[in-house]
């Protein structure tokens, strides 16, 4: 006889997608703990850990989208509070995607949709930095489906793993 705890996942301290502190109060239907906003951002209703279908109610989805689209209000610091000035820092670049793009396509706008930032261009080779591997993988899936690339190479810097995924394509002109 197995214990009940073997069928549930314990709550981790951080989201496995964005690596930020988990604040959700309940796990997904599969038992994994992931920010629901990370699920909505991925535009796929699947758990990134086990690929199980995630069931979000319409209300949950609308709440998440409204929170994601609300403008951030700037509040002036109080005269009585001392504010320490912090230097501006770029977000962590945990995953680098190198694309061999076809000359007639530009992928910068596509990368922005997935929180990517072009860090170098050399001929038809473009390197794009992403803050996490999940966004990079979603971008690669999208960019492959648009048939804009001949080759995709992903380097996951967080895990110090080079070339974790390489895909080659034939060049087919339509």
Closest CA relative to residue 131, chosen from 147, 120, 119, 123: 119
The model's pLDDT over 117-152, given as tens digits with 9 standing for 90+, comes to 777 777 777 788 877 777 777 787 777 777 677 667
Please report which confidence band the pLDDT of residue 157 belongs to, taking 50, 70 and 90 as the band edges: low
Residue 10 clears pLDDT 50, i.e. is over it: yes
Q: In the prediction, which pLDDT does 20 show? A: 78
Map out the domains of the chain as residue ranges: 11-70, 95-168
Please report which confidence band the pLDDT of residue 44 belongs to, taking 50, 70 and 90 as the band edges: confident
Pairwise pLDDT comparison (165 vs 51), residue with the higher score: 51
Q: Structure pTM?
A: 0.34
Q: In the prediction, which pLDDT does 95 show? A: 65
Residue 172 clears pLDDT 50, i.e. is over it: no
3-class state of residue 142 by DSSP? helix
The model's pLDDT over 22-35, given as tens digits with 9 standing for 90+, comes to 776 667 778 888 87
Q: From the CB of residue 42, how many other CB atoms can be counted at a distance below 10 Å? A: 19
Calpha distance 143→99 (Å, rounded): 10
- In whole numbers, what is the pLDDT of the chain averaged over residues? 66
What is the distance in angstroms between the CA of the first residue and the CA of the last residue of the chain?
A: 60
- Domain 95-168 belongs to what architecture? 2-Layer Sandwich (3.30)
Overall CATH class of domain 11-70 = alpha beta
Q: In the prediction, which pLDDT does 11 show? A: 65
CB 154 within 8 A of CB 137: yes
Calpha distance 172→174 (Å, rounded): 6
Calpha distance 139→130 (Å, rounded): 9
Closest CA relative to residue 132, chosen from 42, 62, 69: 42
Q: In the prediction, which pLDDT does 112 show? A: 74
């Amino acid at each position: 006889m197995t214990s009940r705890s073997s069928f549930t996942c314990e709550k981790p301290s951080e989201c496995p997608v964005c690596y930020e502190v988990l604040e959700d109060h309940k796990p997904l239907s599969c038992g994994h703990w992931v920010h629901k906003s990370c699920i909505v951002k991925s535009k796929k209703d699947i758990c990134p850990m086990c690929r199980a279908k995630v069931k979000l109610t319409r209300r949950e989805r609308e709440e998440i989208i409204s929170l994601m689209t609300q403008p951030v209000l700037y509040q002036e610091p109080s005269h009585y509070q001392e504010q320490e000035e912090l230097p501006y820092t770029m977000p962590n670049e945990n995953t680098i995607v190198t694309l061999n793009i076809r000359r007639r396509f530009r992928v910068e706008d596509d990368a922005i949709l997935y929180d990517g930032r072009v860090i170098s261009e050399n001929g038809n080779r473009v390197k794009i930095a992403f803050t996490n591997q999940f966004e990079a993988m979603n971008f690669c899936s999208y960019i492959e489906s648009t048939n804009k690339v001949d080759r995709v190479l992903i380097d996951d810097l967080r895990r110090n793993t080079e070339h974790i995924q390489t895909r080659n394509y034939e060049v087919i002109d339509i």
